[in-house]
Structures are given as C-alpha cells and as structure tokens.
Amino acid sequence: MTSNRVLIGIGGGIAAYKVCEVVSALAKSGIEVRAILTDAAGEFITPLTVTTLCRHPAYTDKDFWQPTHGRPLHIELGEWAEVFVIAPLTANTLAKLAHGFADNLLTNTVLASTMPILLAPAMNTDMWEQMTVQRNWQQIQQDPRYHRVGPSSGILACDRIGKGRMAEPPEILTHIQSLLHTKGQRDLSGKRVLISAGGTREHLDPVRFIGNPSTGKMGIALAQAAMHRGAQVTLVHAPMDGRLVESVGEIGRAIAITSAAEMHQAMLEHFSQADITIMSAAVADVKPANYSQEKLPKNSLPTALPLEPVPDILAELGRLKQPHQRLIGFAAQTGDIVTPALEKMRRKKVDAIVANPIDKSDSGFGSDNNQAIFLDNQGRQLEIQPGSKLEMSHHLFDFIKNLE
C-alpha cells in the first residue's frame, strides 16, 4: 500500500475480533493506523489488543470526555485521517449516522470530518432485514461520502445462516487500498466496464484440457478497482477460485465460461453496451481439433494432438469498436516486452495495451503483484513499478481516463 493514515472505528459486535486482523495488516504494511472503540466494542475486544496492533493508544469515550489542553480529539482525528473505516457497523451506529446523531467519539468524528468513510455492516439476519435498518442503510448510501463493503451471507455467530456477515478482512483491506488511491472519487460512475479474466481451457475430453497458468487475479483486481470507482462491472471469467469471483458477484455481474469459444460468445454479447473493455484473460490460441464426449482411456489417447485455431476475441472487438468505446488489451511477454506489445496493439486495433513481463519474480501469472509498461496508440508509454495488482489496476484506469 502506498499511503498513509487510516482511522478505524470499531463498533460493538462479535465481528470486532476480525477487525483486529484489518488493523494488524494495515500497520504491518506501513500505514499509520488509529482506532476508536465504542463502549460496546470494548465489551468484545480490549483497547489493549487494538493499541498493540496499531502501535498507538486506541481511543475510547473516556478519552473523548477528558479535559484537554489541545484541540478536541474528534476534530484532531477527523483532520488526521485520509480514510475512515467503520467496522463492524452495528444497527445502532448505522441509525445514528443516518440521522446525524453525535453522542460518542466515533459519531462525533464522523460529523467533524470530510474524508471518505467505508462502512462494513455486521449483524444478525433478522436485525439486518428490519425495515428500519434497511431504510437507514438505503438512506445513508445517498450520501456519496459513504462507501460500502458487504455484508455477505454465511453462518453467523448466532448460528443463523443468512445475510449479515461482515465482509472478510482481505475484502475490507482491498477497499481501503482503493479509497487511499481515489480519495473516495467515483470517477467511473455511470460507466459500464467489461473485463475478461483467467485462463481459458480447451478440452479434448471431459477431463483433459490445454490450459495456462493464469489465475484470474489481475482481472479480479481490475473489476474491484472499477467497482470501487463507481463503474457497473461485467466480468467474463474462466475457471478460477470461487472466493475471488464472489468479491465481484456481490455488486457486479460475473459470467462463468470455460473455453475460448464461450468467452468469445459472452464478450460479443456484452461488448456493444460497454464503455471500457479490458481483455486481461489469457485466451488459448489453439484447441484440440477433436472432442470426445466420453473420457478417453489412457491407451486410446492420441500420440499427436491435431489442433485448430480459436477466434482472436480482442482483434474482433477491435474491428467492432465504436469511436466512444475504449478497448484495452494485455500482452504477456518475456524478454523485450515493448516491441511485441506495440505490434499487437496495432494489429488488434486497440486504444492501449498493457505490456506485462512474465519472466520477473513476484509478478505476472498467479502472483498478487505485477508490473507493466502501459502503451497507447498516441505514443504514450508509462512504466508501472512493481506493486499490487489492485494498485496497477488503478494506474490503468487513470491512464485510460487520459486516452484521446
């Protein structure tokens, strides 16, 4: 993470213990973290736990009511933080925020500040589904200052299975990273973004296929970054870890495919409505010429595999592209990455291409990190230093914004 100062407001719910993981991960990544515990949060976890993880004393309402020689604490904290995270957001705190109440340090800090606020609700399903809670939740989302993560469905601490589970720490951390980059701006609001992700599989029978090592992490990071910037996202993805897809499925649309032919069909179906299309998928170049419906026994396997080409999806989208649409390709390369990427950009008629080295350590296929050179058809080149795939995604959307 590149920045800097995050304030965490911890509410009184059992998910408070999971927020400790968020605090710990932020502090370990070099971010300065301060935390406020409500009195109810102090019933679930202790200020000492949070103080130790923050490497800084955690604040409670006792601090708020202390006479001070300096400026009031809620003003200081409000001015200090770049991003405020409220997790778990309880029904009680949600109601206070929706109606502008300020009766403790957490709610006073909200009103005495202007930074973006990320809300991570967590409560029992019946509480979450109450008309009053839903009304407060809808109302608070009218205010662009508030961003949301979760809640998701699953087994709750009260043994119920349903909606109300707090988003998992990695998802909260990803959203914080986005907010530190965007400062809460939703510059893709109203835009439709179509993304392809993962490695296609070209089967020769129900079990065996020709594939590649792509895990889809880059495409998921692009989808998350686009959603955090306010876009409406459609993700067309090859087989990948279901938890990665879930993080997109909550707000966007995720379409699962297996082969290049299926990806081709799904991309063509959605392309005309998209403002920005990014082909980050590692699509096969060839497929077995014959497919057996039944699993082939070992001794019936061919000794040589006849292959035939699959359609070049990006090149076809390049031909269909309208002037208002932006189309971006990826070029996974070894050695000299720029020359072949420029050639692909011209041949496939795309607006920009991401030249992506796959022979560097800790970047490319399967890694959480990546590095690249962005190239556009106006001759711009931008080198992106190694960093997380989410950071690279935000740099790419910044780059796309400036395409002619």
Catalytic residues: 158
For residue 344, state whether it binds ligand CTP (rule: CB under 6 A).
Answer: yes
The interface with ligand CTP within residues 65-84 (CB under 6 A) comprises none
16-28 vs 169-182: helix axis angle to the nearest 10? 50
The interface with ligand CTP within residues 209-228 (CB under 6 A) comprises none
Token pair in block for residue 344? 């692909």
* Neighbouring C-beta atoms of residue 387, cutoff 10 Å: 17
Alpha helices in 40-182 (DSSP H): 41-44, 47-54, 61-64, 73-80, 91-99, 105-111, 125-129, 131-140, 169-182
| CA gap 23, 28 in Å, rounded | 9
Q: Least distance to ligand CTP from the beta carbon of 146, Å?
A: 35
Q: Least distance to ligand CTP from the beta carbon of 315, Å?
A: 7
Nearest to 34 by CA among 144, 109, 88: 109
Ordered strands of the 253-256 beta sheet = 253-256, 232-237, 192-197, 276-279, 326-333, 352-357, 369-376, 381-388
- Specify the residue, 15 or 331, whose C-beta has the smaller distance to ligand CTP: 331
- Specify the residue, 118 or 279, whose C-beta has the smaller distance to ligand CTP: 279
| CA gap 300, 230 in Å, rounded | 52
- Contacting residue, 6, 22, 332, 400, with ligand CTP by CB under 6 A: 332
- The residue assigned the tokens 């796309």 is 400
x/- contact string, 245-264, with ligand CTP (CB under 6 A)? ---------------x----
Diameter of the chain measured on Cα atoms = 85
- Specify the residue, 256 or 261, whose C-beta has the smaller distance to ligand CTP: 261
The one-letter amino acid at 268: L
For residue 271, state whether it binds ligand CTP (rule: CB under 6 A).
Answer: no
**Range in contact with ligand CTP (rule: CB under 6 A) among 58-66, 217-225, 239-247, 328-336:** 328-336
**Range in contact with ligand CTP (rule: CB under 6 A) among 30-38, 279-287, 367-375, 389-397:** 279-287
Nearest to 266 by CA among 320, 194, 321, 327: 194
For residue 400, state whether it binds ligand CTP (rule: CB under 6 A).
Answer: no
Q: Residue 190 CA to chain centroid, in angstroms?
A: 18
- Specify the residue, 285 or 362, whose C-beta has the smaller distance to ligand CTP: 285
Residues 6+ apart with CB under 8 A from 389: 217, 218, 220, 221, 367, 368, 369, 370
For residue 279, state whether it binds ligand CTP (rule: CB under 6 A).
Answer: yes
**Range in contact with ligand CTP (rule: CB under 6 A) among 45-53, 54-62, 185-193, 324-332:** 324-332
Q: Least distance to ligand CTP from the beta carbon of 249, Å?
A: 22
Q: Least distance to ligand CTP from the beta carbon of 330, Å?
A: 4
- Specify the residue, 297 or 335, whose C-beta has the smaller distance to ligand CTP: 335
For residue 337, state whether it binds ligand CTP (rule: CB under 6 A).
Answer: no
x/- contact string, 125-144, with ligand CTP (CB under 6 A)? --------------------
- Specify the residue, 187 or 343, whose C-beta has the smaller distance to ligand CTP: 343
For residue 122, state whether it binds ligand CTP (rule: CB under 6 A).
Answer: no
- Specify the residue, 55 or 346, whose C-beta has the smaller distance to ligand CTP: 346
For residue 330, state whether it binds ligand CTP (rule: CB under 6 A).
Answer: yes
The interface with ligand CTP within residues 281-320 (CB under 6 A) comprises 281, 283, 285, 310, 312-314
* Neighbouring C-beta atoms of residue 198, cutoff 10 Å: 31
For residue 274, state whether it binds ligand CTP (rule: CB under 6 A).
Answer: no
Token pair in block for residue 305? 């595999």
**Range in contact with ligand CTP (rule: CB under 6 A) among 18-26, 111-119, 139-147, 277-285:** 277-285
Q: Least distance to ligand CTP from the beta carbon of 333, Å?
A: 7
| CA gap 198, 219 in Å, rounded | 7
Nearest to 116 by CA among 188, 180, 166, 169: 180
Strands 253-256 and 161-165, by their bridges, are unpaired
Per rule CB under 6 A, count of chain residues that contact ligand CTP: 14
The one-letter amino acid at 23: V
Burial classification of residue 115, based on how many CB atoms lie within 10 Å of its CB (0-12 exposed, 13-18 middle, 19 or more buried):
buried
What is the binding site for ligand CTP (CB under 6 A)? 260, 279, 281, 283, 285, 310, 312-314, 329-332, 344
